[in-house]
Amino acid sequence: MSASLDMDALQAFVDAEFRHQFRSVVDMISQPVASRVDQFTCWPGLVLEATEDEGRRLILSFRTNPSKLRIGEYVYVNDAQARPEEILSGPEGTISEIDAPRGRLIVASGYQQGPRFQRTFRLGQRLVLDQMLPGARHGRDMPILALRLVAGEFGSAPRIDRIRSFLEGTLEPGPSGLAPLAAEDDPELARLTPSQREAVRRAVEEREALIQGPPGTGKTHVLGLVVRELVRRGQKVAVCAFTHQAINNVLAECLRHPDIGSVAKIGGPTSWADHPADPRLRIVPRPAAFFRQKTVPDVAGFTQHAAFNPVSRALDEGALQALPDRFDVVVFDESGQLTLPAAMMAMIQADRWVFAGDHAQLPPVVQTHRPGDGPAVSVFQHLVERTPREAVLLDRSFRLNAELATFPSRSFYGERLSSAPSAAASRLELTRDHMGPRAAILDPDRPSTLALVRHQGRGQESPEEAALVARLVHDAIAGGVPPEEIAVIAPHRRQNVKIREFLGRLGHAGAHPLVDTVERIQGQERDLIVISMALSDPDAISAESEFLFLPNRLNVALTRARKKLVFVASPALFRALPPRWAFEAPGPSPLEALNVLKRWYFLHKHAAIDATGIAREELAAFEATGPDGTAPDGPKERRATTSQ
Amino acid sequence: MHEPAARAVTGNVIYNYFSHPCGYRVHLDLHGDRTRRDAPGPAGRYLMERGNRHEAAVFAGIRARDPEDWRAIEADPTLDREADIARRIEATLDAMREGVRFIFHGFLTTLPGEVVESRPGGEERESPLVFRGETDLLVRVEEPSAAFGAWSYQVGDVKSSRRARFAQKMQVAFYSWILERRQGVLPREGFVVTGEGRRERFELEECIWTLRHFLEEEIHEYARAEDVFYQIEPACGQCHWRSHCAARAADDDDLSLVPGMRRADKRTLLAAGIPSRGVLREQDDATLRALGRSFGRKLDGFRDLKQRASAQDFGRALVRQAPPAEPGARRPRTPDLFHHRGPLLLVASVPDFYDGQEAVVATALLRREGRRLEGSAGEDRLTFLRQDPDCERLHLFGQFLQHKDEIDRLLARRRERALPVFLDRRAAWRMRRNAESARHAQVLQRAERLVSDAVVLPEVVERHLYLPRAPQCALDLAAAVAAGPPPAGGVFAEGPLEAFLGAEEATAIRARIDALAADYGLDAEALRGPDEDLRAIWVKEWRAGGDEAWARLLEFELGREIAAGRSVLERLLEWVK
């Protein structure tokens, strides 16, 4: 099996993605504030309270964040009265800190924007943030340069040829030449499951390795040991991922091992706020500075853009004299979310590669293609499905209890995933005496519960579901589940905003429990997960079916819970069909995707709980109290009466 | 609760539902007065006839290959319908027990008590419905079954489409689901024999859960309810109950007659106590805005729908006032019809009936002079690009891109670019899909640029006017924008065929139409209409036979559409200030 790389198609894909992003931001910026807020690209209602660093950092206060803007996001900062056509000329900055409980936000000035920050803003001024246009250099030019480099347009080199033949599936597997793994002599390696040990062995002893890590199977732990073993054998290791969070997780795991002498984190938001206080760790904000330094740490973590920085600079300045030679191995984490061009940008850094990821979880975020289709495929999926390489599947989940592991194992992992003995029988610990009829929904002995709420015509927001979910979370906390061990997942931000509003009224306004989209919660886990799907309008469901029923998204949502999963939805969701055009378009069949959800429904419908009455009662109570109401216990008393 | 006896649920009910999910159609299929169904139109009859011929050819091919081991379970017109069905069901079972390799037109049914209506929460009861149907093909496979021993059967359906479609797969899945009850095992696969004679196989696991959900839950609601929700939509054009629904909607002054009224909107308005267009028109704007907000609709909420309902009342388009331009305001960066100073490239097209991709494209270049458009939509100024029947689909799209490049090269001297204006709401989507399926990088890249820069006329009109009818393409728009209904020949008809094509060619085309009409027993006049399906039939006939007369007819039709588009543009430029 081989997969020829269509470099033209990949370039067109990169270009189309960039244009789409650019166009969508431009279109949004020309809208009034209300429309921008409606699409979550604008954060209004900010007041400048103070400045730091001689006016280069703004400290702003806020009441709520109605936008999707997060830490690390590049934004335009403007006066609240700015007209739409003035937004693009506003000073540019980066969100460097969001303290939601205290309503405090810090925006740092962008590159060469310090003086504009200093002279533009005054204390007490009301400001608004808008999502910035994507930069052409990062979004388009660098990936296309990488594609052209790998295509051999700037000359030939053994590494370039290896990258191409590896991705095309024509590179024969071979030994790495490093000392073999001696697992029996090492207590940490001895404790690994057989599949984990095999993954470490392949990463060390073979030239290239693929590790598939389903949810909770200890992928990060395995990667930490892979890096440790490589460093023990004198290798310099680069850790690369799509997000800084994923990189930081692997680096933190590396720091557990005393054999690793030095670790560097390059680029990204300066606030790796909870990084380990370890003298071996060095944070270098700018990639260029890191690649100028002569000393090379044992392990360095960076994104693909930072990895490609020295190459793109060299190409900018004339010619590329030589490929980077600071690292021996690049270890990719979350490579199921990394596109082929993005992977190539980092593969340039070394001759050997270890890819860890899971193509059954979320694919790369793309707008112009169906997820996973054609050039939008992730590098991990490409290697597993289109080349002869075989991935080691980590087959024991230390997260999911036995019941929660059954469905994902059958639907996504060929029945090869099982719950580790330590997790198999785990149950949520909570008291339910105070819950009334809601106790059945949170029953710990039914790890997976479908709660149906009958509503109609709802789009991305269902207040009924939001009220029920908020009350269930409140119940769980009152029953003894720590807020840090609860997360709520909804496919749309609009529903998340509603749930947060109701949770706030019940006294849970902080960062915990976490309420977010599936995309934001991949890689995390909680004891209790509540999913709220919100939609009940058949047209809206049909129009969004590709997004809603993507099996990978469903897999991620269903596998975040360690002990208990509550799936809240309208019955209309399960009768939805994709739009007709979806069946006639090229690419994977949407019917297959739909079937995954419907199969889950059939497994759960006999024990489903009709929570319509409870949801309506809760919503009525919220509506009766108003936004600043403080009577969340009112309906509970009424409910107690009703249940008697 | 008393439940009226329903007709049997057949493969056609399943096919129709999954072609266009309409619960009311299912209800009418099970309980409606069959004498009130519409007879198939010329397009429907054409397709049926074509399907029958294809099926006969497929069966003949099978019989030729395997002359001994087949059996046809034909209908006996001398028997009563139900008695005949019972006979055919038995004959099918006998053939399966004997292990006949190919069974044509086998009849399958469920038995009373075999199907359970199942509800969330564990509630179950015996289904009162009977599920049965006539398969095209039952094929023996060497996989064991409880009923027949060493063999079992798979279901195949013969269709004239190029690829197996969703509804066709669901129909095969439905027969397989019944077959499971007869042979004791669900076949692993089903297949559709396509128009090109290919067997397109698929695993039943791919669709069985979707089907089960429909058969075990939804269909019982539609069968039982006395007043199932209905909605008048463009897709109703294919339905044999359309006259019934149209009459009912007129009687009810139904909300779905308002352009842009989605099913969810109608449900919301009904729930809010607004049952008809008349009541909607009388509603207070603030009430409708609040209702819209409460259901997450943007800004104006349902006020927009009220305006459309009012436009229908006046019987003409109402111009939505554009916000006054602020002094010093920048020009929008995205393409905008009203700010573009260069020429407009009007693009009309006809898709292939099944593939949904362009078969013919016509363009006309018009230059704006104030609010007027210079240039002619006449024959001399139109450019027609046609898909060669033997070439890849990409060929036509490539031609179109090349044509646009040539125009831009000429305009580059004046530092101008032509702004493409698609006259059909779906054309932009089809072009993008065409480029995607070609999987050619440069074409994909250029298609993305072209389509994202283009203006789609029905969308612009929708933004600026309140129309009495939902516009789909330029011809609809022209009729809607003009006051009153379109005259018989179309609002912008340019006269008879002769005026456009010349007497000789027109005569040849008329002769070809008459011949086709005679072949299929159709009304020749009906085949000359501007109906979209008929245009697609022209494409099909032209592609099949390569007859130039059909191509000229298509060009004539697209010329009309370009003229209509131009007229709409002129009105827009005049009205929207």
A130-156: per-residue pLDDT in tens? 988 877 778 888 999 999 999 988 888
Sort out which chain A residues have CB atoms less than 8 A from B18's CB and list them.
Answer: 577
Is A423's pLDDT higher than 80? yes
Rg, Å, chain B Cα set: 27
Q: Residue B437: pLDDT band by 50, 70, 90 thresholds?
A: low
Using the beta-carbon criterion (under 8 Å), do B21 and A83 form an inter-chain contact?
Answer: no
Is A637's pLDDT higher than 50? no
Q: Which of B21-25, B93-97, B476-480, B560-564 is most confident?
A: B93-97
Q: Is A30 on the interface with B (CB under 8 A)?
A: yes
Which DSSP state fits B236? G
Q: What is the pLDDT of residue B487?
A: 37
Tokens coding B376: 């002619």
Q: Residue A371: pLDDT band by 50, 70, 90 thresholds?
A: confident
Q: Are A80 and A159 in contact (CB under 8 A)?
A: no
Sort out which chain B residues have CB atoms less than 8 A from A11's CB and list them.
Answer: 441, 445
> Using CB atoms, which residue from A9, A581, A592 is nearest to B444?
A9
Q: Residue B494: pLDDT band by 50, 70, 90 thresholds?
A: very low
Instruction: Give the chain B residue nearest A579 (alpha carbons).
Output: B20
Place of tokens 């934004």: A75
Question: Helices B532-545 & B548-575, crossing angle to 10 degrees?
Answer: 150
Using the beta-carbon criterion (under 8 Å), do B213 and A598 form an inter-chain contact?
Answer: yes
Q: Are A230 and A329 in contact (CB under 8 A)?
A: yes
Q: Is B221 on the interface with A (CB under 8 A)?
A: no
Using the beta-carbon criterion (under 8 Å), do B298 and A8 form an inter-chain contact?
Answer: no
Please spell the DSSP secondary structure of A86-115, one letter per residue. GGGGS-EEEEEEEETTTTEEEEEE-TT-HH
| Angle CA B449–B454–B456, to nearest 5 | 145
* Averaged pLDDT for residues B268-285: 90
Residues B184-236 have pLDDT tens digits of 999 999 999 988 888 999 999 878 999 999 999 999 989 887 788 999 887 78
The rounded distance, in Å, linking the Cα atoms of A8 and A69 is 33
Q: Report which of residues B312 and A121 the model is more confident about.
A: A121
Sort out which chain B residues have CB atoms less than 8 A from A575's CB and list them.
Answer: 213-214, 217-218
Q: Is B40 on the interface with A (CB under 8 A)?
A: no
* Averaged pLDDT for residues A22-51: 83
* Averaged pLDDT for residues A100-119: 83
Q: Residue A643: pLDDT band by 50, 70, 90 thresholds?
A: very low
Share of chain B above pLDDT 70, in %: 74
- Tell me, letter by letter, the H, E, C secondary structure of B378-399: CHHHEEEEECCCCCCCHHHHHH
The rounded distance, in Å, linking the Cα atoms of A637 and A436 is 10
Least confident of A196-200, B26-30, B403-407: B403-407
Buried b vs exposed e over B185-203: b needs ≥16 C-beta within 10 Å?
bbbebbbbbbbeeeebebe
Q: What is the pLDDT of residue A159?
A: 92
Residue A584 to chain B, least CA–CA distance (Å): 7
Q: What is the pLDDT of residue B292?
A: 76
Backbone angles phi, psi at B494, to 5 degrees: -95, 15
Place of tokens 């209409």: B529
Q: Report which of residues B468 and A408 the model is more confident about.
A: A408
- What CA–CA distances, in Å, run from B45 to A138, A228, B244, B320? 57, 73, 20, 43
Q: Report which of residues A100 and A108 the model is more confident about.
A: A108
Q: Are B492 and B323 in contact (CB under 8 A)?
A: no
- From the list A466, A457, A545, A538, the residue with the least C-alpha distance to A506 is A466
Using the beta-carbon criterion (under 8 Å), do A9 and B267 form an inter-chain contact?
Answer: no
Q: What is the pLDDT of residue A462?
A: 92
Per the prediction, chain A carries an average pLDDT of 87
Using the beta-carbon criterion (under 8 Å), do A11 and B429 form an inter-chain contact?
Answer: no
Q: Residue B89: pLDDT band by 50, 70, 90 thresholds?
A: very high
> Using CB atoms, which residue from A6, A16, A608 is nearest to B448?
A16
Residue of B236, B436, B442, B463 to mutate when probing chain A, most A C-beta within 10 A:
B436
Residues A549-600 have pLDDT tens digits of 888 889 999 999 999 999 999 999 998 887 765 655 544 566 677 788 888 9
Backbone angles phi, psi at B200, to 5 degrees: -100, 110
Sort out which chain B residues have CB atoms less than 8 A from A581's CB and list them.
Answer: 356, 429
Residue B307 to chain A, least CA–CA distance (Å): 21
Buried b vs exposed e over B424-445: b needs ≥16 C-beta within 10 Å?
bbbbbbbbbbbbbbbebbebbb
> Using CB atoms, which residue from B18, B207, B299 is nearest to A595?
B207
The rounded distance, in Å, linking the Cα atoms of B44 and A515 is 52
Residue of A15, A605, A622 to mutate when probing chain B, most B C-beta within 10 A:
A605
The rounded distance, in Å, linking the Cα atoms of B292 and B272 is 11
Buried b vs exposed e over A599-625: b needs ≥16 C-beta within 10 Å?
bbbbbbbeebbbbbebbbbbbebbeee
Ranges assigned E (strand) in A366-465 = 392-393, 396-397, 418-419, 448-452
Q: Are B159 and B193 in contact (CB under 8 A)?
A: yes
How crowded is residue B372: how many other Cβ atoms within 10 Å of its Cβ?
A: 11
Using the beta-carbon criterion (under 8 Å), do B441 and A6 form an inter-chain contact?
Answer: yes
Q: Are A529 and A565 in contact (CB under 8 A)?
A: yes
- Tell me, letter by letter, the H, E, C secondary structure of A325-378: CCCCEEEECCHHHCEHHHHHHHHCCCCEEEEEECCCCCCCCCCCCCCCCHHHCE
Is A103's pLDDT higher than 80? yes
Sort out which chain B residues have CB atoms less than 8 A from A460's CB and list them.
Answer: 296
Q: What is the pLDDT of residue A16?
A: 84
Tokens coding B529: 């209409």
Q: Residue A644: pLDDT band by 50, 70, 90 thresholds?
A: very low
Residue A410 to chain B, least CA–CA distance (Å): 13
Is B141's pLDDT higher than 90? yes
Using the beta-carbon criterion (under 8 Å), do A540 and B334 form an inter-chain contact?
Answer: no
> Using CB atoms, which residue from B120, B295, B298 is nearest to A608?
B120
How crowded is residue A456: how many other Cβ atoms within 10 Å of its Cβ?
A: 18
Is B380's pLDDT higher than 60? no
Using the beta-carbon criterion (under 8 Å), do B120 and A450 form an inter-chain contact?
Answer: yes
Residue A250 one-letter amino acid: V
Is A168's pLDDT higher than 80? yes
Residue A463 one-letter amino acid: P
Per the prediction, chain B carries an average pLDDT of 79
Residue A360 to chain B, least CA–CA distance (Å): 17
How crowded is residue B449: how many other Cβ atoms within 10 Å of its Cβ?
A: 14
Q: Are B574 and B371 in contact (CB under 8 A)?
A: yes
Using the beta-carbon criterion (under 8 Å), do B295 and A538 form an inter-chain contact?
Answer: no
- What CA–CA distances, in Å, run from A339 to A120, A363, A374, A381? 39, 9, 11, 10
Is A73's pLDDT higher than 70? yes
Number of H helices, E strands in chain B: 21, 18
Scanning A544-603 for CB atoms below 8 A from B yields 571, 574-575, 577, 580-581, 583-586, 589, 591-592, 594-595, 598-599, 601-602
Using the beta-carbon criterion (under 8 Å), do A12 and B268 form an inter-chain contact?
Answer: no
Residues A176-208 have pLDDT tens digits of 999 998 877 888 999 999 999 999 999 999 999
Place of tokens 């289709």: A373
- From the list A623, A474, A492, A621, the residue with the least C-alpha distance to A553 is A492
Q: What is the pLDDT of residue B454?
A: 86
Using the beta-carbon criterion (under 8 Å), do A594 and B210 form an inter-chain contact?
Answer: yes
Q: What is the pLDDT of residue B354?
A: 55
> Using CB atoms, which residue from A8, A460, A581 is nearest to B441?
A8
Is B542's pLDDT higher than 60? yes
**Beta strand pairing call for B189-193 and B152-158:** parallel
> Using CB atoms, which residue from A11, A459, A577 is nearest to B296?
A459
Q: What is the pLDDT of residue B3?
A: 47
Using the beta-carbon criterion (under 8 Å), do A580 and B20 form an inter-chain contact?
Answer: yes
Sort out which chain B residues have CB atoms less than 8 A from A586's CB and list them.
Answer: 433, 436-437
Using the beta-carbon criterion (under 8 Å), do B209 and A598 form an inter-chain contact?
Answer: yes
Q: Are A167 and A387 in contact (CB under 8 A)?
A: yes
Scanning B8-27 for CB atoms below 8 A from A yields 18-21
How crowded is residue B484: how many other Cβ atoms within 10 Å of its Cβ?
A: 10
| Angle CA B489–B495–B496, to nearest 5 | 95
The rounded distance, in Å, linking the Cα atoms of A44 and A391 is 47
Scanning B303-342 for CB atoms below 8 A from A yields 326, 329-330, 332-334
* Averaged pLDDT for residues A40-48: 90
Instruction: Give the chain A residue nearest B123 (alpha carbons).
Output: A606
Using the beta-carbon criterion (under 8 Å), do A580 and B299 form an inter-chain contact?
Answer: no
Q: What is the pLDDT of residue A641?
A: 32
- Tell me, letter by letter, the H, E, C secondary structure of B168-219: HHHHHHHHHHHHHHHHCCCCCEEEEECCCCCEEEEEHHHCHHHHHHHHHHHH
Least confident of A516-525, A563-572, A632-641, B29-38: A632-641
- From the list A438, A493, A499, A432, the residue with the least C-alpha distance to A464 is A499
Examine residue A513 and say whether the peptide bond preceding it is cis (omega within 30 degrees of 0): yes
Secondary structure of residue B268 in the 3-state scheme: helix
The rounded distance, in Å, linking the Cα atoms of B373 and B224 is 57
Residues B318-368 have pLDDT tens digits of 666 554 455 555 544 456 777 787 889 999 888 765 555 677 788 888 888
Residue A302 to chain B, least CA–CA distance (Å): 30
Instruction: Give the chain B residue nearest A34 (alpha carbons).
Output: B299
Which DSSP state fits A132? P
Tokens coding A313: 């600079």
Instruction: Give the chain B residue nearest A606 (alpha carbons).
Output: B122
Which residue blocks in A421-506 are alpha helix, DSSP H?
421-424, 463-478, 493-505
Is A111's pLDDT higher than 80? no
Backbone angles phi, psi at B465, to 5 degrees: -125, 155
Scanning B478-497 for CB atoms below 8 A from A yields none
Is B247's pLDDT higher than 60? yes
Q: Report which of residues A315 and B479 the model is more confident about.
A: A315
Is B2's pLDDT higher than 50? no
SS3 content of chain B, % helix, strand, coil (to 5): 50, 15, 35
Residues in chain B: 577
Residue of A4, A366, A580 to mutate when probing chain B, most B C-beta within 10 A:
A580
Q: Residue A640: pLDDT band by 50, 70, 90 thresholds?
A: very low
* Averaged pLDDT for residues B487-512: 54
Scanning A266-305 for CB atoms below 8 A from B yields none
Q: Are A600 and A407 in contact (CB under 8 A)?
A: yes
Q: Is B69 on the interface with A (CB under 8 A)?
A: no
Sort out which chain A residues have CB atoms less than 8 A from B339's CB and list them.
Answer: none
Instruction: Give the chain B residue nearest A15 (alpha carbons).
Output: B445
Q: What is the pLDDT of residue A642?
A: 30
Q: Is B298 on the interface with A (CB under 8 A)?
A: yes
Tokens coding A316: 């900018």
The rounded distance, in Å, linking the Cα atoms of B304 and B292 is 10
Using the beta-carbon criterion (under 8 Å), do B264 and A539 form an inter-chain contact?
Answer: yes
Residues A267-324 have pLDDT tens digits of 765 455 566 678 899 888 788 889 888 889 999 999 999 999 888 888 877 777 778 8
* Averaged pLDDT for residues B368-391: 63
Is A483's pLDDT higher than 70? yes
The rounded distance, in Å, linking the Cα atoms of A639 and A467 is 14
